[in-house]
């Protein structure tokens, strides 16, 4: 679930995800809480000094079994299909919510299988791990990702797992997003440091799958790749329906179909 690269498309931590010193909306952080680095790093003109910073304490007993956030529903058996026109050809992306689970830091996560094809040939093969907390925030616990060329794995760059090598779980979708909310989506030092900010709650979006109102719009970026940004749109009851990547000539990754179980 890392931000798409421009060219293509410390000890175990059991404390907290994300944010700067201070309080999250769901409660204060103790002095023992471990915090990710400055949220404004690499943000450029999106860095607003008064933007809300979200930080939630990590508690493995505070998670539930099913992801039911309306803007990030993960019902096992659902398959999402996306398409993007690129200079190299047509990229298609199939995202399948599996019935598999993986326990990470004592939390049972849902496994999502994400495959990207270029002109019909497999390009990326990724397993992502998500889990919701009792408040409805959807946490991101890592990914096992492989880049493929001619059927051969050539890289696993971007792979990470919360609790290993200093990596922390992030938030992929807030339960009650507000404009300006800023948060880490994933954090593994020097590997992935993707961050997001809520820009709008009332976007209108039209993609091949349909037209949607009152969509959430986020800006995603990473200091690891300065200038690499994406804008994502989430529709209620569906999830992500559109991604726009400005630096790639305003490339559009559009939802084409959803297969329900």
The Cα–Cα gap between 182 and 54 comes to 6
Average pLDDT over residues 42-50: 45
6 Cβ contact partners less than 8 Å away, ≥ 6 residues apart? 225, 227, 228, 247, 248
Q: What pLDDT is recorded for position 54?
A: 82
Best CA proximity match to 232, nearest among 245, 223, 213: 245
Boundaries of every domain in the chain: 16-259
Residue 214, CA distances (Å) to 52, 182, 203, 219, 240 in order:
21, 20, 5, 16, 13
pLDDT: which is higher, 214 or 15: 214
User: 60 by DSSP, 3-state: which?
Assistant: helix
Q: What pLDDT is recorded for position 248?
A: 62
Query: Rounded to 5 degrees, what are φ and ψ at 247?
Result: -70, -20
Average pLDDT over residues 30-35: 26
Q: What pLDDT is recorded for position 25?
A: 35
User: 13 by DSSP, 3-state: which?
Assistant: coil
pLDDT in tens, 72-103: 999 999 999 999 999 999 999 999 999 999 99
The Cα–Cα gap between 234 and 174 comes to 12
- DSSP summary character for residue 44: G
Best CA proximity match to 174, nearest among 133, 233, 215: 133
The Cα–Cα gap between 46 and 66 comes to 33
Token output for 255: 């939802």
Q: What pLDDT is recorded for position 66?
A: 72
pLDDT: which is higher, 28 or 234: 234
CATH number of this structure's domain 16-259: 2.40.360
Residue 22 has pLDDT above 50, yes or no: no
Q: What pLDDT is recorded for position 249?
A: 67
- DSSP summary character for residue 207: E
* pLDDT confidence tier of residue 227, bands split at 50, 70 and 90: confident
Beta strand 138-149 with 152-155 is: antiparallel
* pLDDT confidence tier of residue 28, bands split at 50, 70 and 90: very low
The Cα–Cα gap between 255 and 14 comes to 36
pLDDT > 90 fraction of the chain, expressed in percent and rounded: 70
Residue 167 has pLDDT above 60, yes or no: yes
pLDDT in tens, 201-219: 999 999 999 999 999 999 9
Best CA proximity match to 215, nearest among 201, 230, 232, 231: 201
Q: Terminus-to-terminus CA distance in the chain, angstroms?
A: 23
Mean pLDDT of the chain: 83
Question: In the block, which residue shows the tokens 């398959």?
Answer: 79
Q: What pLDDT is recorded for position 36?
A: 36
The Cα–Cα gap between 247 and 191 comes to 21
pLDDT in tens, 93-151: 999 999 999 999 999 999 999 999 999 999 999 999 999 999 999 999 999 999 999 99
Q: What pLDDT is recorded for position 30?
A: 26
Average pLDDT over residues 221-247: 93
Instruction: Enumerate the β-bridge partners of residue 244.
Output: 231, 252
The Cα–Cα gap between 218 and 226 comes to 17
Instruction: Enumerate the β-bridge partners of residue 43.
Output: none
pLDDT in tens, 173-197: 999 999 999 999 999 999 999 999 9
Indicate the pTM of the whole model.
0.82
Beta strand 89-104 with 79-86 is: antiparallel
């Amino acid at each position: 679930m890392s931000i798409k690269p421009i060219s293509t498309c410390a000890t175990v931590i059991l404390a907290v995800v994300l944010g700067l010193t201070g309080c999250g909306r769901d409660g204060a952080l103790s002095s023992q809480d471990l915090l990710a680095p400055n949220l404004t790093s690499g943000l450029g003109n999106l860095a607003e000094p008064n933007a809300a910073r979200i930080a939630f304490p990590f508690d493995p007993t505070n998670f539930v079994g099913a992801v039911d956030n309306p803007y990030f529903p993960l019902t096992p058996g659902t398959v999402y299909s996306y398409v993007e026109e690129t200079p190299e050809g047509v990229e298609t992306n199939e995202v399948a919510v599996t019935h598999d689970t993986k326990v990470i830091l004592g939390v049972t996560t849902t496994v999502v299988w994400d495959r990207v094809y270029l002109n019909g040939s497999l390009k990326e093969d990724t397993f992502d791990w998500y889990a919701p907390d009792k408040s409805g925030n959807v946490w991101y616990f890592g990914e096992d990702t492989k880049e493929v060329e001619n059927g051969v794995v050539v890289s696993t760059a971007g792979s990470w797992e919360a609790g290993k090598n200093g990596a922390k779980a992030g938030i992929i979708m807030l339960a009650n997003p507000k404009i300006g909310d800023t948060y880490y989506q994933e954090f593994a030092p020097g590997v992935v440091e993707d961050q997001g900010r809520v820009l709008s709650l009332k976007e209108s979006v039209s993609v091949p799958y349909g037209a949607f109102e009152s969509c959430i719009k986020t800006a995603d970026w990473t200091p690891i790749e300065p200038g690499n940004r994406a804008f994502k749109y989430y529709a209620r009851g569906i999830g992500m329906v559109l991604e726009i990547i400005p630096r790639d000539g305003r490339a559009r990754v559009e939802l084409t179909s959803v297969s329900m179980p």
